[in-house]
Chains A and B, each alone.
Chain A
């Protein structure tokens, strides 16, 4: 489990670098364009960096409770019921993201076989989809970890 947390930490750092990269590449393109030297394929680079940033931030966002949910009813319930509900929602999330991880992997395979590349820089897009699939896998394991923690909480009570 420690391994997953450290992978998530590394992904978070790379995600941060991708974000900063998006800012610098776009600015360089704007300034370059002003002097007649735009960066070729900057739109592609920025899209790839954004996709990687978001993918790599998924586990971190989940870990730090960054997603919004409707809390008004749940917080009125006893702690034990809250944990039981969490186990159920964890389970649903795991199913959803396990399917998504699998489908992303299949999608990457389809793109790889079709030999599709980006328009200007001719970058193979399937690699980004593989990265996304890996990020989703880590994210799914993260939710499994949450579920185990919640189940242990219930057991210890």
Chain B
């Protein structure tokens, strides 16, 4: 049978099984194994299934993932988010919509030590929502800003999606991280502008908060110190090349651990919970990578990725239009599937296309994360929205899901504007990694 036909059948069967709620990682591994066995030989399939999965689990390069996840979990359990929020609130809280702006800024700061978007959304919702409720903020603005701000945790390095992208495309994780800093700041500013415009049209939805003296403002900077130190240590170490990403992650986790213990913010129980939660997330991510590796092997022997790449390359369309279509596919995919799973599944397909068009792989990685950020807040599978919904129920009372989804809409436009800005000015993404060691 035609290899391409086998590949397409495999893809269709995979999509059908996906709909049964079977874990995406298992389905990719299964289809990859069966497909490879059909295409090459049963012996070949049986041989790669154990070897590939073991190779993924034992790859030193991938140890970055559990260690960065651990850093985020420790920060999450040690209550660093409260201190970050206190500091940003002192500066922004007194303006109209200021508490929402403070929440978004604190999300970015928390993202500097945490690579997961739902974790950022959960921790900032716990801290930010009660405060916004107290000042009479509209539920849509409050929950929308937290859910969208949570996504910043993913764009701001360290970012799990960027690590996976780096591994799958063999790009430097250090460079990808450094490239993510400016885009995260751009999106944060766009979010703040969005809140400003929102509150200009509906001032009663985001009233001003308390005013603080300059003395209080300056003193509050101390609350940013531990996050700043860890971030500078981790990113700076990678930037000048004294740490590998794994070492940076380990030093960062250890740094957060030491600070939290010294401040007596981390109990034994919280420490163990951080370890278990890290284990759970890491297993999920590593299984996804293992599944994607097996599926990628099968897909490569069908030659579909190369055929798509050469077909797209031969199209007489402007490259930005093709890029636009790729971004649209990521956006739509992210709406229906977990963002991380979608990225691992599609990178082997789209990466050859994008590189054949001459786009910079580092830039594309950052754009993928930005689009994924849109995916985590859009219905029906916007994980951040469900996380904020769950937290809101506990801290401020039930907020209908529809309200949260309505609330994220303006922020969605802001991310789209961000993507356009970074597409028009790719230097914003690339100038930092280009001056790296």
Interface set of A (CB-CB < 8 Å, partner B)? 12, 15-17, 19-20, 22-24, 26-27, 29-30, 43, 46-48, 50-51, 53-58, 60-61, 64, 66-74, 85-86, 88-89, 92-93, 96, 99-100, 103-104, 106-107, 128-129, 132
Contacts and interface: CB of A to CB of B under 8 A. Distances in A.
Nearest to A30: B247
B279 A60 contact: yes
B265 to A, nearest CB: 18
B250 A99 contact: no
B359 to A, nearest CB: 28
B164 interface: no
Contacts of B33: 96, 99
A70 B253 contact: no
A26 B247 contact: yes
A93 B276 contact: no
Given A54-B66, A103-B46, A104-B54, 8 more contacts: A30-B247, A46-B60, A50-B60, A53-B279, A61-B284, A72-B336, A92-B26, A129-B54
Given A50-B58, A107-B54, A132-B57, A27 B254 contact: yes
B280 A64 contact: yes
B12 to A, nearest CB: 15
Interface string B52-84: 011001111011001100100000000000000
B138 to A, nearest CB: 28
A74 B246 CA distance: 39
Contacts of B70: 19, 23
A16 B276 contact: yes
A30 B18 CA distance: 43
A57 B47 CA distance: 24
Contact of B286 (A23, A26, A54, A56): A54
11 contacts: A27-B250, A51-B54, A53-B66, A54-B286, A57-B279, A57-B280, A61-B287, A67-B24, A67-B287, A68-B25, A70-B381
A89 B254 CA distance: 40
Contacts of A55: 57
B57 A50 contact: yes
A51 B284 contact: no
Interface stretch (B94-102, B150-158, B337-345): B337-345
A129 B58 CA distance: 10
A96 to B, nearest CB: 5
Contacts of A74: 19-21
A61 B57 contact: no
B50 interface: yes
A72 B57 contact: no
Interface in B231-275: 243, 246-247, 249-251, 253-254, 257, 272, 275
Interface in B16-30: 17-26, 29-30
B301 to A, nearest CB: 19
